[in-house]
Amino acid sequence: MKNPLRIFLIRHGETIDNTKENYELRIPDHLVPLTEAGVEQARETGVNLAAYCEREGIDLRGARIWRSPFLRTRRTSELFNESLGIADVREEVTLIEQQYGLFDARRKEELAAKFPEEYAEYRRQIENGGRLYARLPLGESPLDVAVRLRPFIDDIRRDYERGEADTLFIFTHGTAMRAFLLRYCNYSPEWYQAEYTPANCAVRLLVGDEDRGYLNF
């Protein structure tokens, strides 16, 4: 009997954006690095995830890693893979984070001062149940991310039906992770409105069409 498609969705480790250091440095989003704590966090979670797979009898010999090409997701996947030992590692550009445009690496107070009209409109959308639809100026909305992820979701399902990897480890970002779940599980805009950013190195398990939620190690 064929195994169901199993997907581990994984957010990157802690970065200098998460610690707010990047408000001063303003390193472009694709080059934002992990912090030292983020490196240890990723390495430790990788050990725990490998142990979980062993306990559950999950054969990793035919597993596949997909990752966003951003620096922080590449590094997170490398640290996890020290324990997972997966040979098949691939990158997918549509797994990158939501493009923040003018709001990238800026404090909320700065947004309100520099872009008062744009920020007010963004807040109006969110406060009226439109978190999914709120587009950042010169950037994307979460809906835009969900739309661009659909071909990738189709690809991994097609690969599975062709007999390729049935266990995937997908390293991505906070908004992209929720947008993936929205499309993969056919969740509603109301689900997205209520679903907040996962913790750094959070691991969410999908088996077949079932969302089994975040793993607790």
The arithmetic mean of pLDDT across residues 16-24, rounded, is: 95
pLDDT in tens, 56-101: 999 998 899 999 999 999 999 999 999 999 999 999 999 999 999 9
Map out the domains of the chain as residue ranges.
6-99+141-214
Quote the pTM value: 0.96
In sequence order, what are the residues at sequence separation of 6 or more whose Cβ sits closer than 8 angstroms to the Cβ of residue 147?
Answer: none
Neighbours of 19 (CB within 10 A): 12
Please report the DSSP string for 54-84 in residue order: HHTT---TT-EEEE-SSHHHHHHHHHHHHHH
Q: Is pLDDT of 34 > 80?
A: yes
Q: How confident is the model at residue 217 (pLDDT cuts 50, 70, 90)?
A: confident
pLDDT in tens, 194-209: 998 999 999 999 999 9
Burial of 55 (0-12, 13-18, 19+ CB in 10 A): exposed
Q: Is pLDDT of 45 > 80?
A: yes
Residue indicated by tokens 């398990």: 205
Quote the CA–CA distance of 134 and 125 in Å, as a whole number: 6
CATH architecture entry for 6-99+141-214: 3-Layer(aba) Sandwich (3.40)
The secondary element (H helix, E strand) that includes residue 158 is helix 142-161
pLDDT in tens, 151-178: 999 999 999 999 999 999 999 999 999 9
